[in-house]
Amino acid sequence: MRALLYEAATVILTRVRSASALRSWALALKKRLGFKRAAVALARKLAVVLHVMWKTEKNFDPNHRLAAALTAGAMA
């Protein structure tokens, strides 16, 4: 599971071109800390988002305030 989350984070950082709060946060982190650390941090954040989605049985909404709170680091 850890490898898959890291791979998803790598894809978000390198191949995805659409704007999202998670991607913007990770790209800013990449500038400060480097690619690998940003990918690991994004993988962890994706795990948290997936866990919340599983517990609440809701679909991912990038504009929801929970996604914004996770991106801001309030719940991380």
pLDDT in tens, 30-73: 999 999 999 999 999 999 999 989 999 988 877 666 555 655 55
pLDDT at res. 76: 45
Cβ contacts of 15 within 8 Å, gap of 6 or more: none
Domain ranges of the chain: 2-72
pTM > 0.85: no
In eight-state DSSP terms, residue 15 is T
pLDDT band per the 50, 70, 90 thresholds, residue 75: very low
Amino acid symbol at 11: V
Burial of 50 (0-12, 13-18, 19+ CB in 10 A): middle
